[in-house]
Amino acid sequence: MQKNNFDNKNTLITPKELKKKLSISQDIKNNILISRKIISNIINGKDPRILIVCGPCSIHNFDEAIEYGNLLKNLSLKLKKNIFLIMRVYFEKPRTILGWKGLINDPYMNHTFDINKGLYLARKLLIKLAIKNISLATEILDPNTFHYIDDLLSWVAIGARTVESQIHREIVSLINIPAGFKNNTNGNINVAINAIQASAIKHHFISLDQNGKSYIVSTTGNKNCHLILRGGKKPNYYKHNILECEKILLNIGLKSNIMIDCSHGNSNKDYTKQILVIKSIISQIKEGNISIIGIMIESYINQGNQILDIKNNKKLKYGVSITDGCLDFKSTEKVLLQINNELDLILKIRFLKKKNIS
């Protein structure tokens, strides 16, 4: 019989083992449950605030991520009246063809692929941030690695390349974590809406338990899901795009809960244009929109991005993304304070209007 195409295999730590090595306190558990509840309330129209998921395209440096988290935490205290701020902490990156797949897959960024170390660093970082009571978000890319960090997350995303994946819909139906589904890379919103519907119902499928053993799991469904518009071949954050989404969601009996991803197709992959998207969102809410419940922003310590050289990864610029370009923190702070100030009175009025409609 012909052999499979592998040249090496290594033992992987189990979720249970890693969670024992890096355990979390009851206080952290309680804070995460509170955070998930707040997010669910915002999604379901029981809290007038806006959700903002903000952070780098991907995490590549532990200390930088801690610094960014501290900055974001301090900012969140200024915004807490109108904005619930969640730090974007993405450890895995989907690749169209080739490229660095993220901290979990290759933590040293040198093709050594020490996945055990990557999982350890990912969990350790989340704990360091959670101790400061920072709400945390990630994308579920590999359903296997998700089991190592699921207890530390307050919100998750299903990305444009996996939104049609059955296993990702099943995983979301299992977890008690609010989730957003992006339209696909072509801009098709129907696949994301299908995913929301599929994730809300019961499923029976094969998964891994905390000991890394396969088992059959039966789920009850996740009712705290929403749509994320991330653009496609062209942006889809404009007023007519939002109205179209609202109509489709209403016609199939789903709540019009929409988050706008200010990056990717909506910025035409120009990180500076995220500001224009945010200004459009502010205007739409001022004009009476009640369906936009959140915003996603790619932001880091310093602006732009840089190319990772695997052979020379020690010369990376400090606080600069190695994947998609990001707004610098000063610009991020300025625009978030603008959202907070301009929508200060409007969000309460909008909340009452939404309550009366529902």
Mean pLDDT along residues 97-106: 92
6 has pLDDT over 90: no
Global pTM reads 0.96
3-state secondary structure 109-132: CCCCCCHHHHHHHHHHHHHHHHHC
Averaged confidence pLDDT in the chain: 96
User: What's phi and psi for 166, nearest 5 deg?
Assistant: -65, -45
Contacts of 112-115 with CB under 8 Å at 24 or more apart are 115/12
pLDDT for 7 equals 74
Contact 148, 117 (CB under 8 A): no
Provide the phi-psi class of 178: left if phi over 0, else alpha when psi is between -120 and 50, else beta: beta
pLDDT tier for residue 1 given thresholds of 50, 70 and 90: low
User: Per-residue pLDDT tens for 201-223?
Assistant: 999 999 999 999 999 999 999 99
β-sheet bridge partners, residue 261: 296
Asked whether the predicted pLDDT for residue 35 surpasses 70, the reply is yes
What is the rounded CA–CA span in Å between residue 17 and residue 34?
26
| Percent of the chain whose pLDDT exceeds 70 | 99
pLDDT of residue 339 exceeding 90: yes
Q: Tell me, what's the pLDDT at 2?
A: 64
Over residues 221-271, the pLDDT tens digits come to 999 999 999 999 999 999 999 999 999 999 999 999 999 999 999 999 999
Domains of the chain, CATH where assigned:
23-357 (3.20.20.70)
pLDDT band for position 312 (cuts 50, 70, 90): confident
In this predicted structure, the answer to whether residue 283 has a pLDDT above a threshold of 90 is yes
pLDDT in tens, 108-151: 999 999 999 999 999 999 999 999 999 999 999 999 999 999 99
pLDDT tens digits, one per residue of 228-238: 999 999 999 99
Phi, psi angle pair for 326, to nearest 5°: -130, 155
